[in-house]
Amino acid sequence: MSEVNKTELGQLGEFGLIRHLTDNIKLKHTSTLKGVGDDAAVLDFNNKKTVVTTDLLLEGIHFDLTYTPLKHLGYKAVVVNVSDVYAMNATPKQITVSLGLSSKMSVEALDELYEGIYAACDFYNVDLVGGDTTSSLTGLTISVTALGEGDEDKLCYRSGAKPNDLICVSGDLGAAYMGLQLLERERKIYADNPQMQPDLSGYDYILSRQLKPEARKEVVELLSKIDVVPTSMIDISDGLSSEVMHICAQSKTGCRLYEDKIPIDPSTSMMAEEMGINPIVTALNGGEDYELLFTISQSDYEKFKEVAEANIYIVGHITEESKGNYLVTNADQEVELQAQGWNPIKNND
Amino acid sequence: MSEVNKTELGQLGEFGLIRHLTDNIKLKHTSTLKGVGDDAAVLDFNNKKTVVTTDLLLEGIHFDLTYTPLKHLGYKAVVVNVSDVYAMNATPKQITVSLGLSSKMSVEALDELYEGIYAACDFYNVDLVGGDTTSSLTGLTISVTALGEGDEDKLCYRSGAKPNDLICVSGDLGAAYMGLQLLERERKIYADNPQMQPDLSGYDYILSRQLKPEARKEVVELLSKIDVVPTSMIDISDGLSSEVMHICAQSKTGCRLYEDKIPIDPSTSMMAEEMGINPIVTALNGGEDYELLFTISQSDYEKFKEVAEANIYIVGHITEESKGNYLVTNADQEVELQAQGWNPIKNND
């Protein structure tokens, strides 16, 4: 068997490395006037509004390279950003990618990371237009900024929900969180006993939701097709509870969610029960689902029914602010929602 | 004496921290439709082109907290980005700031960092419109993206230089590099002998060039005032040699620089000689000057002479590509230029 190729980053030098990583870029958009290769990229959004969002991913905090394939990591780094653009009811068009690389990383490993980045660029139809590549004394650092365009009268903020609006979710929740719990469990078993092989069979769905999440571009396309503009929208990165509370806080409303309406995949429930976790907690307080949470006025509800592919779940409704934020359980109890979303600052002591 | 206040980041929580840091933002631009507080910021550049650039700063690679005051670091993180926007002959309008914070950092320390960020936002007249705040297992990570606007017919790329164009520099070079050498020397002396107090008196200029660099916005304003559009432009972050070679490579030209024309401050020369470094090397291969390097057609030269404040140095001229890239020394020798700019990948072994 031949040895795996390992080329040190230093062999290419900074500019050689950037060329190596960006030489094959083919720009997709007329809005990209100038991509990689100058002090800045130049974009032309014409009469559309520009949307911009950014995310920072750090090794050991947002990902663990012992179980995250680099290609998936690159893909996910793009997804979490374009998801924010979709959450504005806008269309992502360009990204920039900055990387801090430890010297132990090989060119081949970096190529794998970029394979994932470019795969996501293709799938979400965005141009990579710039970035910064530097060395890191510690772990891998990935900073992605996404730009997109939207029509002013279609942009969705968190602040537009009104009492009696329906609360919608674009897909099932909690799976990514259970995928992470599973990976963590198997990593610990492996650390204690390296002879044990991780047993991940039969868990494909929750693992793929954690390792290869997708942003819900088809939801934004659907909204455009059926001519519905949500009154508010946000992407679910920190759990349903946190996100609906962001909408309620900024819209100055309350909400009622219904436990029996919240979509949870059977494999998520199974894994949660196996680990002694109430499945509804994974949906409310787990994270990284990247589904869209949005509110619509009741009069728009019929439009969704007309389209077969509209896989939208109504999970509750908006109330007056004074009514508070509550979950109505299957036992018909009202439990106050709490923002127990993933708190990266607190968790790191 | 009262103890210095130290509030742990965890006490505020993620959302509390973001509010604490962004509550007092006052947006300056009509192009900023929506700033911090949603999934993405929304901008409106109307009929102008959008310019976007990003930089990643990592502790231990780009800054050393033992001698970099946090306020200066925050300021500099903005400067290096808006400098790239000016290098396009565009005007910076918005920035996003993402931070990776170690748990040992206090809220007060973070406030200092943001004081510098906001001071730069005021000076360069940009809106802070978004970002991401997360914890870091290791050092401080700062990722800034700057957006700006420019007129299509005034944007300057690296690729437009023509033979016989004059090569211009907006200010003296090498000082920031010598400032860094001085700080490094004093840090080592202090490490060996903590009783010794660092002796930095009389070196204010080179220290301020390193610790509090400024981007050359007045140069872009001047160009607009005298109605000159450079044929090419770049900011000098990696030393004159590297940068002029970028212009020549992308413009498919050569160049001649003249040693006696390259502006070096007397305090830079003094410090260089004290350390046994040829001052011209600090200008050619030092970094972080953030002056603008640009080329103009000879016919535009007279326009600069008409304005008293035009402190522009002509350091050489563009040639045919076949003539190569050379420095003509004071001894009238031709020395081939080499891209020995700061290479963050190679340096980190």
| ipTM metric | 0.89
Rounded distance between C-alpha atoms, residue A287 and residue A290, angstroms: 8
DSSP code per residue over A262-299: S---HHHHHHHHHTT--HHHHHHH------EEEEE-GG
Higher pLDDT, A348 or A156: A156
Q: Which of B42, B47, B56 sits opposite A100 (nearest CB)?
A: B56
Residues A231-284 pLDDT 10s: 999 999 999 999 999 999 999 999 999 999 999 999 999 999 999 999 999 999
Regions of chain B short of the pLDDT cut 70: 1-4, 308-310, 340-349
Residues of B in contact with A12 (CB under 8 A): 345
Residues of A in contact with B99 (CB under 8 A): 56
DSSP code per residue over A92-122: EEEEEEEEEE-TT-BHHHHHHHHHHHHHHHH
Q: Which of A39, A103, A250 sits opposite B348 (nearest CB)?
A: A103
Residues A338-348 pLDDT 10s: 876 544 333 33
Q: Does position A4 have pLDDT exceeding 70, yes or no?
A: no
> In this predicted structure, what is the pLDDT of residue B4?
61
User: Residue B145 and residue A96: Cβ atoms within 8 Å?
Assistant: yes
User: Residue A141 and residue B100: Cβ atoms within 8 Å?
Assistant: yes
- Mean pLDDT, to the nearest integer, of A66-73? 93
Rounded distance between C-alpha atoms, residue B138 and residue A50, angstroms: 34
Q: pTM for the full model?
A: 0.91
What order of strands is seen across the sheet that includes strand A325-328? A232-235, A292-296, A166-169, A313-320, A253-258, A325-328, A334-336
Q: Measured at the alpha carbon of residue A254, what is the angle toward residues A253 and A255, in degrees to the nearest 5?
A: 130
> In this predicted structure, what is the pLDDT of residue B197?
74
- Residue B56, phi-psi category: left (phi > 0), alpha (psi -120 to 50), beta (remainder): beta
Residues A9-22 pLDDT 10s: 778 777 787 788 88
In terms of Cβ atoms closer than 10 Å to its own Cβ (0-12, 13-18, 19+), residue B92 is: buried
The domains located in chain A, with CATH, are 11-150 (3.30.1330.10), 166-336 (3.90.650.10)
Taking Cα atoms as reference points, which of B76, B95, B75 lies closest to residue B85? B95
Q: How far is CA B76 from the centre of its chain?
A: 7
Residues of A in contact with B290 (CB under 8 A): none
Rounded distance between C-alpha atoms, residue B203 and residue A286, angstroms: 54
Q: Which of A13, A54, A147 sits opposite B98 (nearest CB)?
A: A54
Q: What is the mean pLDDT of chain B?
A: 90
